[in-house]
């Protein structure tokens, strides 16, 4: 019997310095993967994530990159390949959420979300499609708001609907490569992205919308990422709703 060990899998996690991205990075590191934390600008939080992973015995580095900048994202993948030998998993958790009704939303906010949430997904997925090794996984982030249709979320949900479409079509384009492509669609989750600007009454009301009557945690979502990044080889081209049954 061969005693050769399998090479360590390598994951890039965008938005990996905080919230769901950080928890996903920590979970993948705990699963045995080397992790490249991609972040937009908070050096301290990115280094904190790396420190926590390495203190727990994992391998991690941080790379600053604007996900909508194709040159920065190409360099991100180059860095991952130089540091760890290749890329097996890409978790694209970076995103922004700016709320407003269709009648009142500032169009600059619409353009900012389009650049980060749609163009950013396309740019990251483009490099992932070119670079991820056989047996790998690409995991994008959608939202359960595409089903809930909550007022003031139209622009955000529209961008995430584009993520669903990109994920499904890319899964088909990668035929024969043994690479899965899926999207994770969280419901209300206790992160700064969700909590910022909401009063306690609104948070409590949204927490009770699902049958489990609580907000999700970043750890809940990281469990789904871990599954799709590793054993879930027969789930492909799907949007997986991780929301406690809210919709």
Residue 62 lies in a domain: yes
What is d(CA 214, CA 199) in angstroms, rounded to the nearest whole number? 16
Q: Domain range holding 130?
A: 10-188+221-240
Residue 211 lies in a domain: no
- Is pLDDT at 129 greater than 70 in this prediction? yes
CATH code where residue 77 lies:
3.40.50.720
Residue 2: inside a domain: no
Assign 192 a pLDDT band (cuts: 50, 70, 90).
confident
The pLDDT score that the predictor gives to residue 4 is 55
The mean predicted confidence, pLDDT, of the chain is 95
Per-residue pLDDT tens digits for 4-34? 567 899 999 999 999 999 999 999 999 999 9
* Structure tokens that stand for 113 in this block: 């979300």
Give me the pLDDT at residue 203, please.
87
Any domain includes 216: no
Is residue 159 a part of any domain in this protein? yes
pLDDT band at 206 (very low <50, low <70, confident <90, very high): confident
- pLDDT grade, residue 235 (50/70/90)? very high
Reported as a single tens digit per residue, the pLDDT across 40-95 is 999 999 999 999 999 999 999 999 999 999 999 999 999 999 999 999 999 999 99
Lowest mean pLDDT among 90-99, 190-199, 207-216: 190-199
Helices (H), 90-230: 107-113, 120-131, 145-148, 154-173, 192-195, 200-207, 218-229
Radius of gyration, CA atoms only, the chain: 17
Helix, strand, coil abundance in the chain, percent, nearest 5: 45, 15, 40
Q: What is the pLDDT of residue 53?
A: 98
| Residue 3 domain-assigned (yes or no) | no
- pLDDT tier for residue 2 given thresholds of 50, 70 and 90: very low
Q: Is the dihedral of CA 1, 30, 219, 22 positive or negative?
A: negative
Residues belonging to the active site: 156
Residue 54 lies in a domain: yes
- Total domains, the chain: 1
The answer to the question of residue 208 being in a domain is no
| pLDDT score recorded for residue 197 | 76
pTM confidence score: 0.94
């Amino acid at each position: 019997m061969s005693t050769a060990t399998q090479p360590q899998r390598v994951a890039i996690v965008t938005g990996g310095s905080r919230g769901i991205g950080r928890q996903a990075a920590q979970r993948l590191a705990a699963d045995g993967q080397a992790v490249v934390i991609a972040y937009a600008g908070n050096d301290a939080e990115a280094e904190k994530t790396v420190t926590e992973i390495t203190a727990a015995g994992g391998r991690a580095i941080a790379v600053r990159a604007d996900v909508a900048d194709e040159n920065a994202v190409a360099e991100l993948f180059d860095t991952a390949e130089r540091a760890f030998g290749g890329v097996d998993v890409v978790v694209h958790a970076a995103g922004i959420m700016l709320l407003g009704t269709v009648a009142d939303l500032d169009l600059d906010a619409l353009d900012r979300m389009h650049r980060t949430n749609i163009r950013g997904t396309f740019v990251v997925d483009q490099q992932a499609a070119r670079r991820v090794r056989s047996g790998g996984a690409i995991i994008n982030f959608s939202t359960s708001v595409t089903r809930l249709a909550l007022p003031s979320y139209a622009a955000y949900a529209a961008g995430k609907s584009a993520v669903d479409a990109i994920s499904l079509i890319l899964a088909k384009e990668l035929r024969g490569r043994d690479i899965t492509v899926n999207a994770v669609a969280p419901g209300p989750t206790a992160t700064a992205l969700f909590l910022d600007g909401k009063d306690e009454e609104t948070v409590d009301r949204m927490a009770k919308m699902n049958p489990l009557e609580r907000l999700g945690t970043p750890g809940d979502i990281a469990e789904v990422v871990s599954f799709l990044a590793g054993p879930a080889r027969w789930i492909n081209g799907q949007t997986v709703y991780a929301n406690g049954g809210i919709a």
